[in-house]
Amino acid sequence: MQPHACDQTTKPDLAPCVIVIFGASGDLTSRKLIPGLFSLFSQGKLPRPFAIVGCSRTEMDDQQFRMHLEKHCHDSVAAMDRWHDFAQHLFYKSVDYDLHHFRELAAYLEQLDQQRQTGGNRIFELAVPPALYPVIGDLLGQSGLADEKGPDRGWSRVIVEKPFGHDLESARRLDATLHNHFNEKQIYRIDHYLAKETVQNTLIFRFANTIFEPIWNRHYIDYVGIVAAEELGVGSRAGYYDQSGVIRDMFQNHMMQLLVLTAMEPPSRFDAYAVQDEKAKVIRSLREFDREAGSKLCLGQYQDGEINGKKVPGYRREQGVSADSRTPTFALMELYIDNWRWQDVPFYLVSGKRLPRKETRIVIQFKQVPHRLFHDVLGDTINANRLVIETYPEERIRLHFQTKSPGTAICLRSMTMDFAYHEHYQGKALDDYARVLLDCMAGDHMLFWRQDGIELSWAFLTPVLEECEKCSCEDNGLSYYPAGVWGPEPAGDTMRLLVDD
Ligand SMILES: NC(=O)c1ccc[n+]([C@@H]2O[C@H](COP(=O)([O-])OP(=O)(O)OC[C@H]3O[C@@H](n4cnc5c(N)ncnc54)[C@H](OP(=O)(O)O)[C@@H]3O)[C@@H](O)[C@H]2O)c1
């Protein structure tokens, strides 16, 4: 098969710019942002000229900042050579979050623009705790750093990390603060799941082929499963996680994006606005969650257990988690989309920590054949077709179907057509953070959330969060599971449908 000769990651000529990272002494910067930018630099994909300015309260000079980041980017000798060139573009400015420091920062960036010819174009990445998003948004506005001189020259963009608020109200407040100084086109709300190749490929798979779309509906599909399982526990994020739980951490953003990509109608054009419109329609069509009307939700929390032969502590024994915490670390939701395409097809969304293995997949389970032609010879054993779009551990798509086993007797064999995403691609795949940063430089909103989607998602999940909150003061509602199994017992039957192929 002829591979298509286009490099999907090449962007049209990017304008020079300065990327300012707030929270530059932190985990996200050293683990994701700088390695992502370094890999873009190594592949010649960053604009020229460019500069990166790290900002946080910790006192450091440029040299110390470069040394602090170096170890995170050295995975080969070739990388060490390139690092030296890359590091010349890294700067550090210590800031406190007040107007005086932001005015100083504005003057510093003016100077850097002149030295480096970066054209007054700036990206501000908020890699700080969420409480600082509105504070920094305000300070950028008050110090004039949000102002744009023109759409092509002197632009200003802000990248906001998840979580976008803690609930509907706080999401609206954050948005209002940002909109005091930035217009919607200047705001980029990151969901790095969207930058994963197989997640994007879901749209291409559905809408660049004719054979799947006619059967992608209630007439042929029995149920859809979306699974984001993690082997790890809460780790060093206990402070944040114990306040948030699995619904805020995974469902409001990543799970909702996987759901809308699977269920949306084809957009009229492949541009950010048209795609976001279709996504919003799906969330708007979700059947309201109402326990009394039969909506199903299973919440769980992991206890002591064993994963890969190693004993691991239960959630309440993790450092930073209160000993009587009732925060859910597992949720299984059954959702329905009330529209022409999906009426009465259950969508099972599952995410949890300390499950047997890390796995992210979308399962499309097709219906049984309408007439059991082989019933007399085979009984009821014909497996229905199943399509699995897997993002982790490998990026691949598998289609399970039936064939005849060779021989005189009628015996079926379940076979799998298997497509490994990177098998026929020689280039270097972009890491998800590199991808979203590149898109922001190009002014492309396709992989980012739009505010209406965020608000619709919070509005839908509000009664679910209320259910979780109930669970934190009552003794029922939360089930427990030992680390290393597929969630609590009440979720068992559904989990077997979704993780066993
Ligand atoms: N880490 C990840 O993988 C990840 C993934 C997705 C989203 N996010 C989001 O990205 C953001 C940054 O994550 P992170 O893991 O890098 O956070 P972090 O390491 O906890 O914090 C980043 C930096 O923010 C500064 N900071 C911390 N508390 C502060 C406070 N109260 N006031 C002012 N500055 C403070 C610290 O720098 P100074 O003390 O030097 O100022 C710290 O190094 C968070 O909103 C997180 O939710 C992170």
Domain spans of the chain?
A: 17-190, 194-429+450-499
- pLDDT beyond 70 at 421: yes
Lowest mean pLDDT among 10-24, 75-89, 223-237, 443-457: 75-89
Higher pLDDT, 415 or 75: 415
* pLDDT for res 72: 83
24 C-alpha to ligand 1 centroid (Å): 8
Known catalytic residues are 254
Position 5 scores a pLDDT of 47
Q: What is the pLDDT of residue 413?
A: 85
The string of DSSP codes covering 386-426 is EEEEEEESS-EEEEEEEEEPSSSS--EEEEEEEEETTTT--
Q: Which atom of ligand 1 is nearest to the CA of 130?
A: 45
Cα(286)–Cα(308) distance, integer angstroms: 38
CA of 30 to the centre of ligand 1 (A): 11
Instruction: Report the DSSP beta bridge partners of residue 224.
Output: 347, 364
More confident site: 236 or 281:
281
Among the listed ranges 70-84, 172-186, 391-405, which one has the minimum average pLDDT value? 70-84
CB 297 within 8 A of CB 477: no
Q: What is the pLDDT of residues 481-501, one digit of tens each?
A: 999 999 999 999 999 999 988
Model confidence pLDDT, tens digit, residues 273-306: 999 999 999 999 999 999 888 999 999 999 999 9
Rounded to the nearest 5 percent, the helix, strand and coil shares of the chain are 40, 20, 40
Q: Give the pLDDT score at 104.
A: 97
Return the minimum-mean-pLDDT range out of 51-55, 103-107, 162-166: 162-166
Q: Tell me, which fold does domain 17-190 have in CATH?
A: Rossmann fold (3.40.50)
Which of 27, 97, 190, 431, when mutated, tests ligand 1's pocket best, judged by the most ligand atoms within 8 Å of its CB?
Answer: 27
Nearest CA-CA partner of 190 in 483, 472, 445, 362:
445
Give the alpha-carbon dihedral of 125, 127, 133, 135, to 10 degrees.
Answer: -90
Ligand 1 neighbours (beta carbon < 6 A)? 23, 25-28, 32, 56-58, 127-130, 132, 161-162
The architecture of the domain spanning 194-429+450-499 is: 2-Layer Sandwich (3.30)
Residues in the chain: 501
What separation in Å is there between the alpha carbon of 29 and the centre of ligand 1? 9
What local confidence, expressed as pLDDT, does residue 7 receive?
A: 54
244 CB-near residues (< 8 Å, 6+ apart): 163, 166, 327
If pLDDT is split at 50, 70 and 90, which confidence band does 10 have? low
Its pTM stands at: 0.92
Ligand 1 midpoint to CA 162 (Å):
11
Cα–Cα distance, 89 to 18 (Å, whole number): 10
> What confidence score (pLDDT) does residue 150 get?
67
Query: What average pLDDT does the segment 47-61 reach?
Result: 97
Locate the ligand 1 atom nearest the alpha carbon of residue 25 and give its number.
43
Report the residue among 20, 28, 174, 196 best suited for mutation to probe ligand 1: largest number of ligand atoms under 8 A from its CB.
Answer: 28
Q: Is 391 exposed, middle or buried (0-12, 13-18, 19+ CB in 10 A)?
A: buried
Taking the C-alpha atoms of residue 108 and residue 126, their distance in angstroms, rounded to an integer, is 18
Residue 55 corresponds to which tokens in the numbers above? 């900002």
Q: What is the pLDDT of residues 318-344, one digit of tens each?
A: 999 999 999 999 999 999 999 999 999
Would you call 1 helix, strand, or coil by DSSP?
coil
